[in-house]
Chains A and B, each alone.
Chain A
């Protein structure tokens, strides 16, 4: 047993659901007790999704506990197949239901006999994998299933596309700025004269998965999601992949050079150096920003970075290599992939922290006292408590991290966005500090106060206590309205009764 207040990565089934609901016309059914369909709320709220989340639960209740699911899961699968005609139904256990050790594979087989669409059981162990690992595995499982199916039916398209083309693998729902990254990556491919063959899983149809081998190569922008699929495609179809995250000026260039090498090996003769040079020096503002005097002021400032592997590693490199910021500590909660992280960042920071305990990272931040933090929403709150500004660079995230405006982290526009994020975090910190030294903007005492700030009305003890219970941000309003009400009716003392009467009358 572990005492836990917070977790960075969710349980395995969340990963599976993220993949399933990213595809078009794929439905997921959770074998879960009432209340476990919280995923629908997250998707509907965080992504402001207009459509119903294609996830339902086959409820595990007392009857299931006593007698097993029996026909229930099969019926639910077949019913959903009839109602919505999905191409694929993915059945996923949850932590709870996996202890029941029901033969879900058997249910899937039986349901498959009656269902028009395909039915799969997500192959993830809930006590060994987290959300990210499960997402990676589920994507691989679905891709493999459809490629094998196509091969069996001899429907695999032969050969490559005429022009160089790419599959972008790993864009998913509830991923950090994934939608924007996807658009930016497509633009980048267009600039490079590369066709986008397929983007998976987001918005993809399972029927198109058989076309994956037609691409010249795969691009896996995120370390956490898609690598297993890319490796599978390399083994089976000899399809090379690029797994350099194009985040930051240097890494984007490295990614493009790798793409150049891969497609030239397949018979083209492209040279992207001029493009890289032009983008770096004139289109993206990040390189110029590093040189400008603003960024000079950031030299040697201390920062702490924490997040998932992809973002924490990329941001660490950007801060240290491209902006001259002193990264005291870089950390990740992807414990299962810690070696990769250490190898990526060790030359760019003093310390590496591998932990999924938010207390540990909080303590480290308190000890280091950096000028800025780049982390998850959790670190933002640590920053708030310690009065240190924080830029959010990785999940877990809030609704604020699903901006409507265009905010990629990848590619050249991504470098601009990151520069803004970094710079804004630091200047705000500086400003705060200056304010403290000089005692705030307004040094003159305010002489005339607003309406009834000083009141002639007497609040009795109970009423005063009640007023103090009103949340701070509306207390002033409640006080004013109550006093206005009391004055109009000629009460000289404000008691609880007067307060409630005021609330009833004017909604104070």
Chain B
């Protein structure tokens, strides 16, 4: 079944922001917005949910801390508790100050890298991925809003979008993907 959507192009981020607010008031559905740079407040205007990446990073950090602790407790205390320069290797706590730099670095390492990888996975980014760019100008100086026009009155929605300040409107007929 064919679906229809409209690509509305804007050339100013302030106009775009205002347009997003107006469109949401009319309860038209915005599929996606393509911008050449981050527009402050766009996610709030679109009503997107907050990211949970920071929570992920915190949990990854705890994993890193645990890895460092378990690793060094096993190597330095349990497996082969040597006397190295008189450092007490009887228990983890006694020798802990020496391990703190590693504990810290591994916490940061895990938190940072796993968070970045999570970001790539969630935003579906990888080398050789085919770019999903509907219009090449969106990486340079145009903002493109994809509005779901399926089941709407094309005439009136086009008129409405034009009034919000769109400089170009394209009606797209999608076949099933």
Question: Real complex partners, A and B?
Answer: no
Name B residues whose Cβ lies closer than 8 Å to a Cβ of A.
none
Name A residues whose Cβ lies closer than 8 Å to a Cβ of B.
none
